[in-house]
Amino acid sequence: MVSISDAVSSIVEDGSFVVVGGMHLHNNPMALVREIIRQGRRTGKLLTSPCGAMNADLLLGAGLVDELITSYVGFEHLGLAPNFRRLAEQGSIRILECDEPYIAHGLYAGAGGLPFIPLPRGLEYSDIPKVNPESYTYTEDPFSGERVLVGAPLLPEVALLHAQLSDAQGNAVLLGAHFLDRLIALASKHVILQVERIVSTEEISSHPMGTTIPAFLVDAVVVATGGCHPTSSHAFYTYDEQHLRQYLEMARDERGTDEYLTRYVRQTTEALYQQSMADRIDSLRNEAVLEQRAL
């Protein structure tokens, strides 16, 4: 285990291809995202998995994303993603427009060393391949001779992931849904893991099939209790709708975004942020949904 600032400064190089885990309003690795903003690390390419929310919009708002590769950035029922929307409408961000099947299959190809990945017939009837020839192209099926849409492998350099539990080495357990996070860990050169709680290796060993990511794929483990706030951490707390609405309101323009970043990111440390939000997060604790392994 290392400090969050050491993890980010030693692993995330300026201009890296970064992928953020979690999906929609859930399991966003916000502690790591905020630390990247504090350190001003540019992400040469940012991938969402497949649906980004606060994890992508905040990095976009901080002006740290050169190129965005995504199939969705938004806040579901709460509204559109304000910084994504503004940058896209201004034409001031390069977007590699994708769909979910390509992101999943592209990560599979990246994880498995497959040089490219054919996509199911029919996907070529969206307009996505037309606007993203870098990720999508066509070839011939050597078995049938038919024209086939194919995708390039996705090979992120750094994955930012949240797990509810892990041991000190990084054997990680995602309680609740896994989204694409397991596949992201498999496809990425480096993995930084933020966790709600460290457990013993004995606890991991008692449910070996319940582990989501093995330690040897993980470069750094960072303790970040409440580190998904204002998004949810499955089995721990739900998303903070009030805070998210405040963000959506403030982020309507650049000035408000900057004010949000100053107040909640740049002028605070991650430890202070989590401390200041502890009461809110406590009030968002999930009702017990499932019979769970010991937390």
What minimum distance in Å lies between the beta carbon of 146 and a second copy? 7
Task: Say which entry of a second copy, other proteins, none residue 127 contacts (CB below 5 to 8 A, set by partner kind).
Answer: other proteins
What minimum distance in Å lies between the beta carbon of 196 and a second copy? 17
Task: Say which entry of other proteins, a second copy, none residue 139 contacts (CB below 5 to 8 A, set by partner kind).
Answer: a second copy
Q: Are 193 and 171 in contact (CB under 8 A)?
A: no
Task: Say which entry of other proteins, a second copy, none residue 81 contacts (CB below 5 to 8 A, set by partner kind).
Answer: other proteins
DSSP state of 27: S
What minimum distance in Å lies between the beta carbon of 95 and other proteins? 9
Q: How far apart are the first and last CA of the chain?
A: 19
String of DSSP letters for 6-22? HHHHHH--TTEEEEE-S
Which is closer to a second copy, CB of 106 or CB of 170? 106
Task: Say which entry of a second copy, other proteins, none residue 85 contacts (CB below 5 to 8 A, set by partner kind).
Answer: other proteins
Alpha helices in the chain (DSSP H): 4-11, 30-39, 54-61, 82-90, 100-112, 128-131, 181-187, 201-205, 241-250, 254-261, 270-283
What minimum distance in Å lies between the beta carbon of 106 and a second copy? 12
Strand 172-173 to 158-166 pairing: antiparallel
Distance between CA atoms of residues 173 and 275, nearest Å: 24
What minimum distance in Å lies between the beta carbon of 137 and other proteins? 16
Which is closer to a second copy, CB of 40 or CB of 120? 120
Q: Are 75 and 55 in contact (CB under 8 A)?
A: no
Which is closer to other proteins, CB of 84 or CB of 270? 84
Task: Say which entry of a second copy, other proteins, none residue 279 contacts (CB below 5 to 8 A, set by partner kind).
Answer: none
Which is closer to a second copy, CB of 134 or CB of 282? 134
Q: Token pair of 54, please?
A: 């606060």
Which is closer to other proteins, CB of 72 or CB of 273? 72
